Structure 1
Amino acid sequence: MSVPVLSAQNIGKSYGSGTNRFNALKGVSLEIRAGESVAIVGKSGSGKSTLMHLLALLDDPDTGTLLVEGTDARTLKGTEVNRLRNQDFGFVFQQFFLTANATVLDNVVLPLKIAGVPPRERKARGMAALEQLELADKAKNKAITLSGGQKQRAVIARALVNNPKVIFADEPTGNLDTATGAVVEDILFALNKDKGITLIIVTHDIELAARCDRQIFIRDGREDTTESGAPRKRHAGAHAGAHA
């Protein structure tokens, strides 16, 4: 069997010290394989976002081991961690983190600029990503002029521009109305199904989680095996054709 894309072995994470110490994660183990869609599910404060930040190499665990395609993350040099975060990983957050007065295209190509991709190639790849998300006509608009659904599609375009292996989505529909959120969900699951991008979604939304191949429930910093039950499969009919 192939090596997991990500493997966490008894990882823990704490913040603060002394009487203010908070144990956000208390020994979580999991494996995520290429092409899977996985939901990390839990209430606010359960540790689910902390877990995603550790898996995405945005933070380091205090205890345990995190393997990235079989390599201990602690052995990776800073330049390699930056490359993984910039090229192999794409990020879609509840907060859009777009530069309001920059153009949509400039926002989308930011990872390419960081990676040192030449301007002409940046523009071509950025426009291709916007075309895929049906936003090419908004390329020259300032990000501040977009609707919520358009902003989230711009964020997905930015996540895609480097052809990532993994997309991390933290409450990707949290700031959207139900109809627009459903469109964004369909886009993410179509990318998983059609392009084989591994999709890791952090959510408290049980219906969104149920669309994933697998759910990992987190409660009080630990995996909650009492809630998970049998794996639930993705609903049929996810598509990327609709737009918000």
Structure 2
Amino acid sequence: MHEVTLRPPAPNDVLKTRDIRKAYGKGQSRFEALKGVSLAVAQGESLAIVGKSGSGKSTLMHLLALLDSPDSGELLVGDSDASTLSVHQVNRLRNEDFGFVFQQFFLIPNASVLENVTLPLKIAGVDRRERTERGMAALRQLELEDKAKNKATNLSGGQKQRVVIARALVNNPKVIFADEPTGNLDTATGSLVEDILFDLNRELGITLVIVTHDVELAERCDRRVFIRDGNLQPDGHHVTEEEFADPANGPAGSEVQS
């Protein structure tokens, strides 16, 4: 069994997992998405979780973002054990402390750009005037102020992703989770979106957790962890796209220890 040594948790870690496991289905159709993953995410860092389709990378992000719960193991948000949080506390964390940028834009097509951006504030019960002020401030930051009244359905792919980033920013989050954020964009537009995310990380100190199979995007992050078949790979192990495609490479069934 191959042991993976990750850096020990630090006082400024915003997210920590220890031996978390997650499976779907039952009987012969049961699939182990995560097989015991330990990971610490430091405040203000940019972290890439890299793996091919089906590796468990999106499952890991969903657990870190409290969009799903592990079957076993420990998940800490700051100093709080996620398993002890109430539904209200989880919803508050997701709405106020976390921002989300997905490959699928998840915009309301016939709503205006401003309405899409301010949706988290509406859910949080913020009054209309403050929603508008904060929404417009986020759009200005993404150079989309002139699109505020446009319908989301009329935007280009790059503009839609910038709207999604503005929506992620409107609550001044501590962490932004980005799942294949440039997957639906051409190379030039994707690079612009990447620049925006890393600028937010550097200038505002927002922790950035990116899930991707794109090695070049991952290399822009402060730190990379590689996941394969529900296990993290050895610390410092560089996995190429070709290696991801070859199931004969990499230590299968590795156990991650902190």
TM-score of the superposition, structure 1-length normalised? 0.93
Residue identity in the other structure for 1:215? R
Write the mapping of 1:118-197 to structure 2, written as runs, cut at 5 A.
118-197=127-206
Residue identity in the other structure for 2:132? K
Q: Runs of 5+ in structure 2 lacking a partner?
A: 1-9, 239-258
Residue identity in the other structure for 1:15? Y
Which of 98, 107, 112 matches 2:121? Answer: 112
Find the aligned partners of 1:184 and 1:26 in 2 and give their Cα distance.
32
Helix, strand or coil: the match of 1:5?
Answer: strand
Residue identity in the other structure for 2:89? E
Offset of 1:228 from its aligned partner? 2.7
After TM superposition, where is structure 1 displaced by more than 6 Å over at least 4 residues in a row?
none
CA offsets per residue over residues 193-216 of structure 1, 9 Å max, x none?
Answer: 000000000000000000000001
Contact in 2 for aligned 1:3/1:70 (Cα 8 Å):
no
Percent sequence identity over matched residues?
Answer: 72
Which of 105, 114, 117 matches 1:96? Answer: 105
Find the aligned partners of 2:117 and 2:199 in 1 and give their Cα distance.
20
Find the aligned partners of 2:229 and 2:54 in 1 and give their Cα distance.
7
Residue identity in the other structure for 2:112? T
Residue identity in the other structure for 2:83? R
Find the aligned partners of 1:3 and 1:75 in 2 and give their Cα distance.
21
Offset of 1:190 from its aligned partner? 0.2
Helix, strand or coil: the match of 1:85?
Answer: helix
Contact in 2 for aligned 1:4/1:33 (Cα 8 Å):
yes
Find the aligned partners of 1:36 and 1:166 in 2 and give their Cα distance.
10
Find the aligned partners of 1:228 and 1:156 in 2 and give their Cα distance.
31
Higher relative contact order (CA 8 A, sep 6+): 2
Residue in 1 aligned with 2:27? 18
Aligned pair count reads 229
Residue in 1 aligned with 2:43? 34
Offset of 1:2 from its aligned partner? 2.1
Determine whether 1:220 maps to 2:232.
no
Find the aligned partners of 2:236 and 2:185 in 1 and give their Cα distance.
27
Residue in 2 aligned with 1:66? 75
TM-score of the superposition, structure 2-length normalised? 0.88
Find the aligned partners of 1:68 and 1:226 in 2 and give their Cα distance.
23
Contact in 2 for aligned 1:215/1:228 (Cα 8 Å):
no
Find the aligned partners of 1:78 and 1:216 in 2 and give their Cα distance.
30
Determine whether 1:206 maps to 2:215.
yes
Q: Runs of 5+ in structure 1 lacking a partner?
A: 230-244
Determine whether 1:83 maps to 2:62.
no
Find the aligned partners of 1:3 and 1:188 in 2 and give their Cα distance.
21
Which of 30, 43, 50 matches 2:52? Answer: 43
Find the aligned partners of 1:79 and 1:226 in 2 and give their Cα distance.
36
